[in-house]
Structures are given as C-alpha cells and as structure tokens.
Amino acid sequence: MNKKDRLRVLLEWMVLLSISVGASWAEIRKPSHPRWKPEPDRVYLQDVGQRVRSASPILSAAWYGERLFAGDAAGLLELTDGNLVRVTGPSGPVRRLKAIQDVLYAATERGLWRLQGASWQPIGERPVADVCLHLGVLLAASGNQVWKVEGDRLVSISDSSRFPVEGVASYSGNVYVRHPQRLGVLEGKTLTLEDVQDWGNLPTGSSTRDFLSLGSRLLVATDRGLAALRGMTWYETRGEDGLCYEDTTCLAEGFAGDLWIGTTRGAIRQVGAEFHYYGSGRWLPHDRVNAVAVGGSRVCIATDGGLGLISYEPYTLRKKAAWYERWLEEWGMKRLGFTHALGKRNGEWLRVVGENDVGFSAHYLAARCYEYGVTRDPAARAAALDSMTMIKWSEEITTIPGFPARSIWAVGQKGIKAKEGSDILTDQWHPTPDGCWEWKGNTSSDETDAHAYAVTLFLELVAEGRERDMAVEHLRRVFGHIVDHGWTLRDVDGLPTRWARWDPEYLNSPNGFLARGLNGLEAFSMVTSSFHFTKDAKFQKGREHLLQQGYLKDILRQKQAFPPGLYTDHDDRLAFLAYDPLLRYETDPNLRSLWLRSLERSWEVKRIESVPWYNYIYGAATGNDCESDRAAAHLRDWPLDLVAWSQFNSHRHDIRTPKGYRNYSDRIRALSPREVGPQRVNRDWTVLDNDGKGNSVVDPACWLEQYWMGRYYGFIEAPTATDRELLSVPHRGLRLGAEPYGGPPRPQLPIKPPAGSAAR
C-alpha cells in the first residue's frame, strides 16, 4: 500500500470513528472550503406599509414638514391620526401639490394656492396645472403658456403654444414644458418643439402623463413606458428592461437615489437596476396611482381608493427574526408545541388546525435547533425541546406503535378544524379514550419526511441525555413501523394510508409509478438516518432491500418538470426534506455520488425561485455556490405583515425568464415576497396572482428556519450592528390575532418501546 492509499484509509477510519463516538454535526457536516460568498447581515431599509382608504379618488399628495396633505375633487385633506380630514384652503379639484423651499403649493382649476406658515393664500385666479423652481424663480404652467410668480400674481413669460402646457420643469438650466404628446423647450419667449431632441423620440403614439428633472435626465411618464431625455437623445424603459408596468402616470424623486413611478396598476420603486413593485391589496387601497410624495424615508402613494403609506425603517435580518418571533406570540399562532396559520371566521382570527400541522411545525423545530446551534440561547433550546415533545406526542397519541398523527385537536377548543384530507378524502379525526383529544390520521409522507429532517437536527444540535433517548426512539418507532409493515404506514383500519407508501406494489402500479423517484429518495433517507442513530440492523437490511427494487435511476430524475402539469412545488419540499438527512448520513461513496447528482438536477430546476431553504440545503450538501446573495434578498423582501392580502401580477410587462435561468415547465419567473406575499417553502413562487383577501395569516416558521440555517452554515454572517434597536424588538404584550390557547395541557409522555423490542 503506497503512502497516498495509507492516508486515504486513515482518513476513512477517522471519519468512521467520529461517527461511532457521536461527533457533532458541526464537525462532520459543514463544508470545509465552501464556494459561496457569505452574505453580510447589513443594515437595510425594510418597507412597512399602511393603507388609508377614502371614498373619493386622491389626486395629489405632498409632505409639508411632518404634515401630509392630499387633494381630491372637492379640495384639500390632511392626514390626522390615521384618517383623511377635510381642511380649509383651496376648493375644487387639487391636481398637484408640491413643496418647494419650505412652501407648499396647490395647483387647482381655480388658481394657485400657497401655504406658508398657518394659512393658505391664493395666487391669481388662472387654472394652474404645475409649478417648478427655475434659477430661483417659481414658474407655473397655465393654459398654453408659462408664467412666473410675482408676489400674489402670475406674470406671463412665454408666448402661447399651439398645445396645452400640462407641466413645467427646469432641466440643465433650461425650461421644458410637457404637452399631451410631446415636449417643448422655452427659447426666449417661444415654446418650441424643434430643438428638444436630435436622436430618438418619445415612445411611438404615446401620451405624456408627468415629467421630472432628475440630475442628468429629464424623465417622462407615458402610457407606453418611461422615457428619458439625456442632452438631446431619448431613451426608453419598457417591460423588457424591467419596468413592471408600462402605463405610467406620475414620477417622484426618492430619498436614497431611487425613483418612484406611478402607474394605472400600482407603484414602482426603481433602485439602481432593480424595480420593486407595490400593487393594490397589500400595499395600496386601489390600483390606479395619481401621485407619489416622498418625505424623508416616508412615501405616500395617492390612488383612486385612498393613500398607500410606505415607510422605510432600518433593519437587520437578526431584528427581523425577533420581529417574527414576537409575531408568533402576539398573533396567538402557538399551541401545544405546534405553530399554526390563522384564518378569519365571522370577523374573528382563529388557529387553523389543519392537514399537515405536525409536518409544518417541524420547520419551527428546525429553526430553534439552528438558532441554538448558533447562539446557545437557553430559550431557543427550550423551544426546540417543546416542539420535539409535540412531535413525539403525535406518535404516542395514536396508540398505533410508530404511527404519527397529522395534527391534534383539543375537544371544545376554538379554532378552524380541517374537514377534508389528502385527495379530498373525508376527515380522518379519531377521538382518544379520555375524550380530551382527536388526532388526524391518513398520515402522509409529508409528515414522515419532516420527522426525519427535524428530529435528526434536534439530535445533532440540541438533544442531551433523556432527550436524546426520546428522539432516537421516535426514529426507531416511526421508521421501524414503515419497514415492518411492508414499507407503508398502516392506519387504524390496518390498511396503508393514501400517500405514505413506499412499497413495490404501489410504486410499480399505474397510480404510483410516477412517485418512484421521490418515494424512493424518501425511503433511502428514512432508513439511512434511522440506522445512523439507532444502529438497528433492520434499517441496514431495509437499505439492501431498496437497492434490489431498481429505484436509483428514478431517484436521479425525481424532480418532475415535464409534462408541465406534473410540476408540484409541495413535492419539492418533500424531496429536500429527504435530501438533507440522506446526504448528512450516507457513507457509501457510490450512492452519495448518485444522491448528489440527483440534488444537482433538482436544484437547477428549483433555483429560479431563490427560496433560501432550497439554496442552503444544496450549498450545505455540496459546498458549491448557492446564490446566497439572492437568498438573503428573498429574506429581506418578506413583508413584516404576514396577513395574506390579495396581490396580482399577471398584468405586468416584466414577466420574463431572467438571463442565466431556464424556463422549465412554463414557470416564467419567480417574484419577490414583496410582490406575492409571505408563503411557506412548499408554495410556488412563480404563481403571479394571489387572491388572499386578508382572510388568513401565514406562520413565519419557515422564514425563521431559513434565517437561522443561513447563520448556522455561514451563508449569512452575524450582524455587525451593535445598536440594540437594530437587533431586537421590544416585548409589547399585545394580543392581535387568535385568543391564547386555553384547553387541556399536553400530557406527559412515556417513551414506549416498539412492539416486540426493548427501548434503547
């Protein structure tokens, strides 16, 4: 044996020894020289929205110091204590409000008005469309001319144009005017159209809606996109350039080098090359935007249905994690170790005791495990133990050794109880002998995959002493049940459940053939991770049995992307729940190579969505670049408000597959959480419309899991900020959602041995 071979053998023995003595995952799991670039947890600006509804369209808006004014068809309003209140001043339609040098101007059909100090003063009686400051002189657009303001009157400084003057702007030392379909420039007293451009034109056939002088550009909002005049050359920005919607209505300069663009279908914030879309439902009370006003880091968007107010507050991802933890408490989303979504019934928020509560609560268990692995915070450890005990209880309550429930209902509790099960089957609720509880059966692979994933994390990062015995025994019982019952979960009737089947009879049948890849992957994952912790020979024999079934080629292509209708995002979650523990504990190098090849294929299809959980599982398993920058951006883009408001995007003009990604299965592009709202990791981020109507609340367990997972592996760095306000949120003691759970407590659990064997 040469020196190289001896070194290889020594390293293999060292790995085996570390496994045999129970080395922590931190020593055996993290890639030693990852190719990803850690994303700093920098301070960023978190958008926070509020809507103020009005009975009539709001035509204009402006900040005047700390005061916010708005104009409608009847006159002037002011935002007071969250409501629009009518104030004295201009009457009739107020179509333009502008703050210039500590003076607020209102352009109306009955003249120009000025607020300087406490009261409004009229300036002339001519209808005014717009005002601007040019070389220290206030100019106004009225009729077919440009006027200057002298004291309390308007004085003409131009001849009459052939076209109405709808806007006036100072650009590069010159006065430009906006006509309905073109621009003009003031030369002497003449408004000319000929000397505006030498190259290019406004979008063909377009109508102008607004314009804005911004540094080296004169920007024009049109019904066919955004145009920019630079010197004497026109440039267009359309949907293919990233403009979310082309029927633009108004423009406003932002507060951080950004640009705000109003449209007839929402508002757009342009930050560098990025376009952030704010639609009606979550952000705005109506689609049509008539004006945008920026005051400091606050933005007011005037729409036909009222105001959309967006403030930008300094945050870190660490602070956002604290916000979501507080949200879980304030909205009453925790119960008995579960985390629940909420639904609204008769105006009241209620916990949804649903189809896969144990499986989705496992993501919260994973979150607290990762958090404890990073911080060693006793509170994170206690929360992880609470969730793990609930998962163990889900198996104890059924009285079927190794059979876990989908969810648990406390008899008499307030809540929304699932009425249907998988495949629209009738509900599968079973009462306990004491009459206190009901547990939901017909359990699927959704739960068992989540058990393998989260319980092994608990064992690696949290469990000590008796806790470790409990978790190991849970793996032995659940996955031992599956192996002992012919690779199925057997329900109260002794028959396999609808979806928890890994048996050859099912997978070789017409109904199960397409599941061979995913279910084969799940089966290898469950027995591999179970053997790692229990060392029970039945799981090693189970692996040998699986190798004889011929699933390996199907596992390689477990991710189905064609025909397009077969694309299922909830199956992606199940696959990655299985990939993670399988790749942690696989010791056969040939099989590991196959699992990695399957993962590479699956993630390549999935990566267009930029969902951190998938990116991080891929990166942790391979050490490869996993687009950690886009993953962190996804986390930052989650709204703080987790109510599922309606959000629509299918009308947009920028729905194109980004360069560097392939459109598999008619999924054109993924949208930001800002644009589609918060979702669990099993949801499709390429679905453009969501008619949530504000009747449900998404639990943030998956966000917390992704953040702490990123921190644990180093995809996200620890924040460098030291200000407590950038790292945490104060306890408020509020009750905002469902009432606190007041039913019977979770029972103390024995740790039962599997039938026919002794507890380990």
C-alpha span between 477 and 487 (Å, rounded): 13
Where in 231-305 does DSSP place strands (E)?
A: 233-237, 248-253, 259-263, 266-271, 274-278, 289-295, 298-303
Span 49-59, pLDDT tens digits? 999 999 999 99
Please tell me the predicted confidence (pLDDT) of residue 423. Answer: 56
pLDDT at position 179 over 60: yes
Q: Which residues pair with 155 in a beta bridge?
A: 148
Amino acid identity, residue 276?
A: H
Average the pLDDT over 433-452 and give the result. Answer: 96
DSSP 475: H
C-alpha span between 158 and 174 (Å, rounded): 13
Please name the residues in contact with 172: beta carbons below 8 A apart, sequence gap of 6 or more: 216, 218, 231
C-alpha span between 528 and 541 (Å, rounded): 10
**713, 671, 704: which is closest to 689 by C-alpha?**
671
Work out the end-to-end distance of the chain between its first and last CA atoms, rounded to an integer number of angstroms.
41
pLDDT at position 563 over 90: no
Name the least confident of 22-26, 253-257, 330-334, 643-647.
Answer: 22-26
Three-state secondary structure along 684-738? CCCCCCECCCCCEECCCHHHHHHHHHHHHHCCECCCCCCCHHHCCCCCCCCCCCC
Average the pLDDT over 377-402 and give the result. Answer: 97
Amino acid identity, residue 265?
A: R
Please name the residues in contact with 170: beta carbons below 8 A apart, sequence gap of 6 or more: 132, 133, 134, 135, 139, 176, 213
Q: Which residues pair with 183 in a beta bridge?
A: 178
Q: What percent of the chain has pLDDT over 70?
A: 94
C-alpha span between 613 and 626 (Å, rounded): 11
Amino acid identity, residue 49?
A: G
CA-based radius of gyration for the chain: 31
Q: Which residues pair with 123 in a beta bridge?
A: 112
pLDDT at position 376 over 70: yes
CA 85 to chain centre: 35
C-alpha span between 107 and 89 (Å, rounded): 12
Span 300-315, pLDDT tens digits? 999 999 999 999 999 9
Average the pLDDT over 611-618 and give the result. Answer: 98
pLDDT bin (cut points 50, 70, 90) of residue 567 is confident
**3-state helix, strand and coil shares in percent for the chain, rounded to the nearest 5:** 30, 30, 40
pLDDT bin (cut points 50, 70, 90) of residue 20 is very low
Span 321-353, pLDDT tens digits? 999 999 999 999 999 999 999 999 999 999 999
Q: What percent of the chain has pLDDT over 90?
A: 89
Count CB-CB contacts under 10 A for residue 624: 15
Sign of CA dihedral 608, 611, 613, 616: positive
| DSSP string for 344-403 | EETTEEEEEE-TTHHHHHHHHHHHHHHHHHHH--HHHHHHHHHHHHHHHHHHHTT-STT-
CB 672 within 8 A of CB 685: no
Q: Which of 51-55, 568-572, 660-664 shows the highest mean pLDDT?
A: 51-55
Backbone torsion region of residue 65, taken as left when φ is above 0, otherwise alpha when ψ lies between -120 and 50, otherwise beta: left
Average pLDDT, the chain: 93
Sign of CA dihedral 517, 523, 526, 529: negative
Average the pLDDT over 385-391 and give the result. Answer: 98
pLDDT at position 3 over 50: no
176, 220, 483, 586, 613 from 543: Cα distances, Å: 77, 66, 10, 11, 27
C-alpha span between 566 and 576 (Å, rounded): 17
pLDDT bin (cut points 50, 70, 90) of residue 750 is low
| Ranges of each domain in the chain | 316-726
pLDDT at position 27 over 80: no
Can you name the CATH fold of 316-726?
Glycosyltransferase (1.50.10)
pLDDT at position 21 over 90: no
CB 358 within 8 A of CB 444: no
Average the pLDDT over 730-739 and give the result. Answer: 97
Span 687-701, pLDDT tens digits? 999 999 999 999 999
